[in-house]
Chain A
Amino acid sequence: MSAVTQRLKAARPQLALLAVALLVNVFVAPGFLDLRLQDGRLFGGLIDILNRGAPVMLLAVGMAPVIATRGIDLSVGVIMAISGAVAAAGVNAGLAWPVAILAALATGLVCGLWNGLLVAVFRLQPIVATLILMVAGRGIAQLITEGRILTFTEPHLIAVAGSTLAALPLPVVLALAAAGLTGLLVRATALGLFVEAVGTNPRSSRLAGVHTGLVLGAVYVWSGLMAALAGLIATADIKGADANNAGLWLELDAILAVVIGGTSLYGGRFSIGRSVLGALVLQAMRTAILRAGLPPELNLVLMALVVAAVLTQQSPAFRPVATRLMARLKNKEAQA
């Protein structure tokens, strides 16, 4: 069996979930699956989901290796706000757009380095270490924007969210490219194995010669970089840096996406591709809820019900029950 078909087989539950979520969308809005090419860009419901889901896809790409090391990064939503604020303040202060974008990405790296330092060197528990930035970071972003929504008109920065590459919105291309690059980094090299080793048993992996500190630090730096890119997209999308709301609670969506992708919070095995699928499942459900025309009071309840159903279906305790049910159904069919 080739590696690709093996991967697809492993991702069957996530693909099935995505198919169900898309079916709900078709049910809610007929013509949802229609794709049309106009002015060199694809339009349609699928593209909308990819486009709106791009920030959480990026966060999930960064979060998956972190969770695989038995860690967690609660600060990614806040890093989005800070990097967006840096980019907006940069172009408004007259910096050239490439400099502003690089500065925003560098901000993400620095934030990730801070988290990595606390976790890898000072041995703080990841949830506490990243909580520090999560709590303080919005204040930093607000200091940069002076508490206002910092709007800008720099066309290149706006193009980060508003332009098209290869018939796809640029955020989609960026998210898929980041996922591809990360997947290559962890699977074409031994890096992924190191990450999983550190998450499964840090002590024995250290004894086996894995530089655990370096691996731990690196995953947080990468997560920071992905978050900064997501922040750039979110900021460019509304042509303004909203320090109070950019990326708000998205760290939780990213964690959920990774978990739906089948990665355990206890660390160990992880998959970038399945985490991206997890992010798309979440966005597809959100899109369906937004377009269903139901009262908005139901939004969160519906989301919670669906997530609960998805996660119980994945739980090991549920599997034997499901298998037995399926067997009984098959028996009945056979009898009939």
Chain B
Amino acid sequence: MDMKTLLGSRKISRQGLARRMLGIGTAVLLGSLAAGCDSGDKKGLTVGFSQIGSESGWRAAETKLARQGAEQRGITLKFSDAQQRQENQIKAVRSFIAQGVDAILLAPVVSSGWDEVLGEAKAANIPVILLDRQIDTPNVDLYLTAVTSDTIEEGRVAGRWLAGKVQGRDCRIVEIQGTVGASLVANRKKGFEEAIATAPNLHLVRTQSGEFTRAKGKEVMEGFLKAEAPGSICAVYSHNDDMMIGAIQAIKEAGLKPGTDILTVSIDGVPDIFKAMADGDANATVELAPDMAPRAYDILLAYRKDHAPPPKWVQTPSKLYEPDTAAAEYARRKDLY
């Protein structure tokens, strides 16, 4: 009986010892890794970036510019692709905290559920900058600032351009929305409607969802062309360029000339819409600037220098491009996306 107990406890303690040794080993390994990082880059900053994924060309461009911008500024970038999952992003942020980075960039895949992990970052004194999307939290002190575009303003810019383009002429507009339910869609719609509300000659006659894809954009535009009297559509507004590229094909297949017979204005500024503009098939696009990370780096560097907190929301410009610069802009962008 005694012997058995003894053996049993020895077994347990052996397991415990093994576990402890493993733990020590890991700690030493991690410690040396961390030390390696520190000694390797004493002067430059280390920034962790938790990206949503690579679901679109725009997202890929944002990542590419994040890497380029970090290199130009001597920043060591630790990049993590969350593959559209919040739990991966939370893990990434925790691992950035454990690695003792100087700042964290976060492009949040969803808007809620960040309070706990951002609280941990705050406790570790690591500033967090949100990229491209905002989050819902009662405590805005959890992050330093959010660098995003003003999606309502994007719609306004598109609407104002159209109002200026048609002057006083009567114009029946059709709208191709993004996926129903996204806040981005509601905002791009709202901004556009605000801008055209001031011009009584502009009428939004039809709106339908093209789910942000080329194929659906084409199908929806085909429907518009069939449902409206021939030649009565004066302009099409699309919530993104991809749907517009589909719509342009539908207009062409209906025997009309996009850009001339039907004016086009869309949002995002992806390379293919610049190509369409250079070819005379499209009229305007409002750029959603993909250089959000480099802007965040500059805010961060300024903040570390003079310790003045930046505004809670830094808006990226919503610049409108027209065919005159399209060829050059296409050449500038085609390798980025």
CB within 8 Å of B: which of A138-180? 142, 147-149, 151, 162
When distances are taken between beta carbons in the complex, the residues of chain B under 8 Å from A45 are 226
Given known contacts A29-B227, A149-B242, A237-B218, A296 and B272 CB-to-CB distance under 8 angstroms: no
Size band of the B side of the interface? 20 to 34
Report the nearest B residue to A298, measured CB to CB. Answer: B180
Chain B interface: which of A11-19, A94-102, A199-207, A242-250? A242-250
Is A148 within 8 A of B57, CB to CB?
A: yes
Interface flags, B215-232, vs A, CB<8A=1, else 0: 110111011001100000
Is B180 within 8 A of A296, CB to CB?
A: yes
Distance of A184 from chain B, by nearest CB (Å): 31
Distance of B228 from chain A, by nearest CB (Å): 10
Interface flags, A294-336, vs B, CB<8A=1, else 0: 0111011000000000000000000000000000000000000
B214: contacting residue among A147, A240, A299, CB under 8 A: A240
Report the nearest A residue to B208, measured CB to CB. Answer: A296
CB within 8 Å of A: which of B149-183? 177, 180-181
B226: contacting residue among A48, A149, A151, CB under 8 A: A48
Is A147 within 8 A of B60, CB to CB?
A: yes
Is B214 within 8 A of A149, CB to CB?
A: yes
CB within 8 Å of B: which of A266-301? 287, 290-291, 293, 295-297, 299-300
CB within 8 Å of A: which of B192-224? 206-209, 211-216, 218-220, 222-223
Is B215 within 8 A of A290, CB to CB?
A: no
Could you tell me the distance between the alpha carbons of A296 and B337 in the complex, rounded to whole angstroms?
A: 30
Could you tell me the distance between the alpha carbons of A220 and B242 in the complex, rounded to whole angstroms?
A: 33
Report the nearest B residue to A290, measured CB to CB. Answer: B223
Size band of the A side of the interface? 20 to 34
When distances are taken between beta carbons in the complex, the residues of chain B under 8 Å from A162 are 253
Is B249 within 8 A of A238, CB to CB?
A: yes
Interface flags, A210-245, vs B, CB<8A=1, else 0: 000000000000000000000000100111101011
Could you tell me the distance between the alpha carbons of A234 and B180 in the complex, rounded to whole angstroms?
A: 23
Is B214 within 8 A of A290, CB to CB?
A: no
When distances are taken between beta carbons in the complex, the residues of chain A under 8 Å from B208 are 290, 296
When distances are taken between beta carbons in the complex, the residues of chain A under 8 Å from B191 are none
CB within 8 Å of A: which of B252-275? 253, 272
Distance of A171 from chain B, by nearest CB (Å): 13
A244: contacting residue among B55, B177, B220, CB under 8 A: B55
Interface flags, B118-143, vs A, CB<8A=1, else 0: 00000000000000000000000000
Given known contacts A149-B272, A242-B215, A245-B215, A299 and B209 CB-to-CB distance under 8 angstroms: yes
When distances are taken between beta carbons in the complex, the residues of chain B under 8 Å from A242 are 213-215, 242
When distances are taken between beta carbons in the complex, the residues of chain A under 8 Å from B56 are 244
B68 at the binding interface (Cβ < 8 Å): no
Is B223 within 8 A of A142, CB to CB?
A: no
Is B272 within 8 A of A52, CB to CB?
A: no
A238: contacting residue among B207, B212, B218, B337, CB under 8 A: B218
Could you tell me the distance between the alpha carbons of A299 and B219 in the complex, rounded to whole angstroms?
A: 14
When distances are taken between beta carbons in the complex, the residues of chain B under 8 Å from A240 are 214
Interface flags, A19-45, vs B, CB<8A=1, else 0: 000000000110000000000000001
Is A296 within 8 A of B57, CB to CB?
A: no
Is B226 within 8 A of A291, CB to CB?
A: yes
Given known contacts A238-B249, A290-B220, A296 and B207 CB-to-CB distance under 8 angstroms: yes
Could you tell me the distance between the alpha carbons of A296 and B214 in the complex, rounded to whole angstroms?
A: 17
Is A245 within 8 A of B209, CB to CB?
A: no
When distances are taken between beta carbons in the complex, the residues of chain A under 8 Å from B54 are 142, 147
When distances are taken between beta carbons in the complex, the residues of chain A under 8 Å from B213 are 242, 245, 248
When distances are taken between beta carbons in the complex, the residues of chain A under 8 Å from B246 are 238
When distances are taken between beta carbons in the complex, the residues of chain B under 8 Å from A248 are 213
Residue among A28, A151, A248, A293 having the largest count of chain B Cβ atoms under 10 Å = A293
Distance of A134 from chain B, by nearest CB (Å): 16
Could you tell me the distance between the alpha carbons of A299 and B253 in the complex, rounded to whole angstroms?
A: 25
When distances are taken between beta carbons in the complex, the residues of chain B under 8 Å from A238 are 214-215, 218, 245-246, 249
Given known contacts A148-B60, A238-B249, A242-B215, A296 and B177 CB-to-CB distance under 8 angstroms: yes
Could you tell me the distance between the alpha carbons of A107 and B180 in the complex, rounded to whole angstroms?
A: 34
Could you tell me the distance between the alpha carbons of A151 and B57 in the complex, rounded to whole angstroms?
A: 13
Is A293 within 8 A of B209, CB to CB?
A: no
Distance of B57 from chain A, by nearest CB (Å): 5
Is A293 within 8 A of B215, CB to CB?
A: no
Distance of B1 from chain A, by nearest CB (Å): 51
Known: A147-B57, A238-B215. 13 other contacts (CB 8 A): A28-B227, A48-B222, A52-B219, A149-B214, A149-B242, A237-B215, A238-B245, A238-B249, A242-B213, A242-B214, A245-B214, A293-B206, A296-B208
Give chain B's interface residues, CB within 8 Å of chain A: 54-57, 60, 177, 180-181, 206-209, 211-216, 218-220, 222-223, 226-227, 242, 245-246, 249, 253, 272, 337
The 10 nearest A-B residue pairs measured at CB = A296-B209, A245-B213, A290-B223, A238-B214, A291-B227, A291-B223, A147-B54, A147-B60, A296-B208, A148-B57
